[in-house]
Amino acid sequence: MAGLTEIERGRSEASHTVLAPTDVEPYLDPQPHTPFPLRYAFYLLGEVRGKTVLDFGCGSGENVAPLLARGAKVLAVDLSQELIELARQRLTITKQDGDCRFIVGSAYEIPLPDGTVDVIFCSSLLHHLTIPRAMAEMKRLLKPGGVAIVKEPVRFSKTFAAARSLFPAKEDISENEHPLTKAELAQVKEGWVASGERSFRLPLVPLLEKLLAQKSKLKIWHIDGWILKNFGILEHFATVRVLRLEKAQ
């Protein structure tokens, strides 16, 4: 079955999204050793008070309120008009004040001038896109010395990739969507100064999450973090990668 276009996928995602207020507390001062990839991405964000941060592919807006709570001026961009509308609604029910502008636009041609933003926050977007085009657009938008925080699904293990292909794909998967390979992650980093890179979520984590109660789910993430910290060879099998990229001066 052919995948959906990105417009169709956004519309499908919006139709299935149940809005709830965003809990910003975990993202205000996350620690470097956190076992949770999104919290680690917010740790890498650093001090953004008064800075312009682009939420690159904001989806239904889960990260907008935490960015505002950190004092950033937020530009939230997504290709889907439906998801942008949900992001507006989510921010309203979260009751988070701040300077935020929502923009409908392609990740390849965002309607903003060159050198507009200090920081780009890019969570789970690049694996939908043509990486060189997306990275070029990020560089265009960033000021000299600006940084991009990237969190993406990855799959380096050919064994696990083959095993995963035996299971049916999600119905709302887009036409180019797939976890990044090692070569594609190298494309993401090409021409940037990369730092703070960490791996998260061994393949058993999502399976155990489905089987265990909420309190036990948190324990699984802590165990996952401990294993990856102490047995670095297993990073090859991790399914999420988070890193900080700096644009050259």
Cβ-based neighbours of 230, under 8 Å, separated by 6 or more: none
Nearest-angstrom CA–CA distance, 58 and 7? 14
Kindly indicate the confidence band of residue 173, based on its pLDDT and cuts at 50, 70 and 90: low
Of the listed ranges 12-16, 113-117, 228-232, the one predicted with least confidence: 12-16
Q: Is the dihedral of CA 108, 109, 115, 117 positive or negative?
A: negative
pLDDT for 214-245, tens place per residue? 777 889 999 999 999 999 999 999 999 999 99
Domain covering 6-202+238-246: architecture: 3-Layer(aba) Sandwich (3.40)
Residue range 57-64: average pLDDT? Answer: 96
What are 210's two structure tokens?
A: 């489905």
For residue 20, what pLDDT is reported? 94
- pLDDT at 161 exceeding the cut of 60: no
11 backbone dihedrals φ, ψ, rounded to 5°: -65, -40
Sketch the domain layout of the chain as residue ranges: 6-202+238-246
Q: Look up the pTM and report it.
A: 0.91
pLDDT for 67-90, tens place per residue? 999 999 999 999 999 999 999 999
For residue 166, what pLDDT is reported? 44
Residue range 17-25: average pLDDT? Answer: 94
For residue 48, what pLDDT is reported? 98
Residue range 148-164: average pLDDT? Answer: 79
Nearest-angstrom CA–CA distance, 136 and 45? 20
Nearest-angstrom CA–CA distance, 44 and 40? 6
Residue range 7-25: average pLDDT? Answer: 87
For residue 164, what pLDDT is reported? 54
Kindly indicate the confidence band of residue 167, based on its pLDDT and cuts at 50, 70 and 90: very low
For residue 233, what pLDDT is reported? 93
DSSP structure string for the chain? -PPBPHHHHHHHHHHH--------GGGTS--TT-S-HHHHHHHHH---TT-EEEEET-TT-TTHHHHHHTT-EEEEEES-HHHHHHHHHHHHHHT--S-EEEEE-BTTB-SS-TT-EEEEEEES-GGGS-HHHHHHHHHHHEEEEEEEEEEEEB---HHHHHHHTTSPPPTT-BTT--PBPHHHHHHHHTTSEEEEEEEE--THHHHHHHHS-HHHHHHHHHHHHHHHHH-GGGGGG-SEEEEEEE---
**Best mean pLDDT range from 32-41, 160-169, 171-180:** 32-41
Q: Identity (one letter) of the amino acid at 233?
A: I
For residue 206, what pLDDT is reported? 87
Nearest-angstrom CA–CA distance, 51 and 65? 15
For the chain, give the mean pLDDT.
91
Identify the residue whose tokens are 């509308």: 85
